[in-house]
Every structure is written in structure tokens, then in C-alpha cells.
Amino acid sequence: MKINKNFLKLGENYLFLIISEKVKRFKEKFPKKDIISLGIGDVTLPVCEAAVSAGLKAIEEMASAETFKGYGPNNGYLFLREKICKSYSERGVNISVDEVFISDGSKSDIGNISDIFSNENVCLIPDPTYPVYVDSNIMAGREITYCNAEERNEFLPTPIPEYEKSDLIYICSPNNPTGAAYSHEQLKSWVDFALSRNSVILFDSAYEAFVSNDVPHSIFEIEGARKCAIEFRSFSKTAGFTGMRCAYTIISKELEYDDVKINELWSRRQSTKFNGVPYVIQRAAEATLSAEGKTQIKKNIDYYRKNAEIIMQKLRHAKVKFFGGINSPYIWMKCPESMKSWKFFDFILEDAGVIGIPGSGFGKNGENFFRLACFGNHERTEEAIERLCRSILKKL
Ligand code: MLT
């Protein structure tokens, strides 16, 4: 018996697990310390009314033989896929229902998409990055090259000849962790690069609901993307579904490699390894795309945006440099006096009782940075950032 030895090349633990274990140990040591988390990007506001009542109605349908549902369609119920297509068309993007694949999360889809591409492909992943892109390719044994997302390019690397060897190109915009978002022109340069190289762009737009200026919400707003990109979207951050689990992946029928339609290959993969998202959850997700649901979820997004404003205002006041926060629920702040990220994590936890995510956990270019999330409540967020700024000032 042999194991997949690629797993031994992974870091010992997933970043967010390392943090929660560190915090657990700290709490055991200082049980009285009041701790506020601006760490993992998990929503806190309840699921909107429209989704709750649709979900309740759907569970009642399960209680009667006439309306009971067993296995659903593998790629998702038509009612949800139609609503998703409508929401794209409202932004001028045409997607057909058979290009939409409903799933239980973007994390799973982004990790699993790797199944349908050869392990001989080389990946191009930004540094810093969402750890799933890296870990899932290490598991597959693929070669990874990194593109530098740094202060000098405002954390938005664009294609250069050195990236010549890149087949699977990962882009997250608005970005986790830096909060940076690509403009139309910048994304177009990636689409042109991918088309010229016969590469595929794996476009993670889990945070598109936070876009507040004219940057693209979808890679399909860019001409040519239907022939070179796959888009991953989620109800998690958009509609507070982190505990409900529903997402979707868009694969155009024009996307082909090795003369094979990727849409059909993914459908084949999903029908073998995935049995779909519960009917009740899909009904709840559908309701978030109704007029009433959209208003309700926008209210929640605006609430989180206000947290970002609170944080940004206090950081400006304390003269702390930061990025993000405009089109994203994440603020990417510079650690004072070039302090190492993990050192800053320990210092802020001990001194201020605040949890953030050390930038170096997202890659070497994240060193000396610290990520703050905006998913808490106003009062506690304000308290946390005040404490954090006080600790910084004390240190300087
Ligand atoms: C994060 O904090 O980066 C997110 O919670 C990660 C995720 O959505 O899986």
C-alpha cells in the first residue's frame, strides 16, 4: 500500500486551523482576556428573511409525498441556474443555463477543478494567495510558479514573458487576502495572455458583491474570456451562506482544450463524484436573487462595508499604511516598523486581544503584512481597531 506522497509536501496544517489552534491555546492561558476576531473571513449576520422563508417552505415540501424531492439534477435545479443567468444578464453578460454548475462551495470547486486537467500542467499562482490554490496543486503534484503581488504593483500582477510556462492561471479579484481588484484593462491583459498561451484562467470572484467602483464583477465582462476562463462564485460572502453551503461555477461551452469541451468534462466529473446541493438550500439561494432578497443581502453587504470604513478611518488616523477595503471585505495593513507578520499576530493578540491573519500565511510576499476582516459587528469592530491602533502607537 502506498499513499499519495504529494500530501507530505504540504504545510503541516491549513492556515486557518493553525490560527484557531493558536487562539485556543491563548484562551486557555488567559481565560479572562476579551478577544475580538478580525481573522477568518466568516460572516456573522443572519441569513436574509427571503432565504429563510424560501428554505422553510422547501423543507415543508419534503414532508409531503406530492412535493417530496429525492436526488436533484447533478448540476443544480433549473430554477436556480435560470436566476443566476438572469443576474449575469443584468450586467450585460450572457451565460446559458447549461454553463452553470451548482455546488456546495467555491473552495471545493476550485480544489476539485484540478481533477480535469493534466498534472503535467504548470500553475501560475499569485503570491500572496488564498492557500487552497497552492495546496490543491501540491496534492496533485503539479509544478507551481508564482507571480509577485507586491506593493510596487499594488498587489495586481499583470502578465510578463517570465510567466511563459503557465497553463492554469489563478486569479482572485477582488482579492483575498490583499483586497486589490483588477480593472477591465488589467484583466483584458490576462485574457489576451491566456488566449495566446492556450492557458486557462481560474477566476475566483467570491467577493464580487463587495465591488463598489467600476472594476469588473466577472471575467466574462472581458472579451475573449469565454474561450479561456472558468469563473467561481459563491453565496457564502454574498448572501451569508458560509453555513448553508451553495456556490456555482461557470464554464462556457466554447472552452476547449485537446479538442475536448471542458464544460462536458466537468459535468462528467461532477456526476461521478458529487450528488448535488440540497433542494432546500438551492431554494434559499434562489430567494437571495429575487428583488426582495437582493435588497436584503445588499443591506448586509453595506453593513460589512461600514466596518471596512471604520477600520480604514482608524488606520489612517494612526498613520498605518493599508490596501484593500474598497472593493473587498479585507484590509491588508502593513505591520509597523517592518515587524514580521507572525510576530505582529502574537503581539496584537497578547496586547490588544485582537485576532487578524498574518500576511506571510498567504505566501512569502505577505511577510510584514496583516489581514483584517470586516465581518463582525460595528461596535466590536470599532473596539478591536481602536485597541489595535493603541497597541501600535505604544510600540512606535
Ligand atoms: C478567509 O478567511 O480567507 C475565508 O474565510 C476563506 C474561505 O472562504 O474559505
Span from the CA of 331 to the centroid of ligand 1 (angstroms): 14
Share of the chain above pLDDT 70, in %: 100
Residue owning the nearest CA to atom 3 of ligand 1: 41
Span from the CA of 226 to the centroid of ligand 1 (angstroms): 27
What residues does 250 pair with on adjacent strands? 100, 231
**Res. 371: pLDDT tops 80:** yes
Cβ atoms 263, 99 nearer than 8 A: yes
Span from the CA of 176 to the centroid of ligand 1 (angstroms): 8
Span from the CA of 41 to the centroid of ligand 1 (angstroms): 5
**Whole-prediction pTM value?**
0.96
pLDDT band at 307 (very low <50, low <70, confident <90, very high): very high
- Give, for 145, the enclosing helix (H) or strand (E): strand 143-148
Residue owning the nearest CA to atom 4 of ligand 1: 41
Share of the chain above pLDDT 90, in %: 96
pLDDT band at 161 (very low <50, low <70, confident <90, very high): confident
Task: Please tell me the predicted confidence (pLDDT) of residue 390.
Answer: 96
What residues does 234 pair with on adjacent strands? 247
Dist CA 274 CA 350 (whole Å): 43
Question: In the block, which residue shows the cell 469588473?
Answer: 216
Substitution candidate for ligand 1 out of 176, 245, 331 with most atoms within 8 A of CB: 176
Q: Which of 134, 172, 131, 127 is nearest to 153 (CA)?
A: 127
Dist CA 205 CA 202 (whole Å): 10
Peptide bond between residue 128 and the one before it cis (omega within 30 degrees of 0): yes
Task: Please tell me the predicted confidence (pLDDT) of residue 11.
Answer: 85
Q: Ligand 1: residues within 6 Å at CB?
A: 40-42, 107, 176
Give the single-character DSSP code of 162. G
CATH 3.90.1150.10 in the chain is located at 5-47+292-395
Atom of ligand 1 nearest to the CA of 206: 8
Average the pLDDT over 66-94 and give the result.
97
Span from the CA of 1 to the centroid of ligand 1 (angstroms): 35
**Res. 38: pLDDT tops 80:** yes
- Phi, psi (rounded to 5 degrees) for 153: -110, 25
Substitution candidate for ligand 1 out of 15, 38, 42, 129 with most atoms within 8 A of CB: 42
**Res. 396: pLDDT tops 80:** no
Residue owning the nearest CA to atom 1 of ligand 1: 41
Span from the CA of 275 to the centroid of ligand 1 (angstroms): 24
Give the 3-state secondary structure of residue 260. Answer: strand
Lowest-confidence pick of 9-23, 298-312, 371-385: 9-23
Q: Each residue of 213-260: pLDDT tens digit?
A: 999 999 999 999 999 999 999 999 999 999 999 999 999 999 999 999
Antiparallel, parallel or unpaired: β 168-172 and 122-127: parallel
Average the pLDDT over 153-174 and give the result.
94
Give the single-character DSSP code of 99. G
Tell me the CATH number for domain 5-47+292-395.
3.90.1150.10
- Mean per-residue pLDDT over the chain, rounded: 96
CATH 3.40.640.10 in the chain is located at 51-289
Q: Domain 51-289 is of which CATH architecture? A: 3-Layer(aba) Sandwich (3.40)
Span from the CA of 86 to the centroid of ligand 1 (angstroms): 27
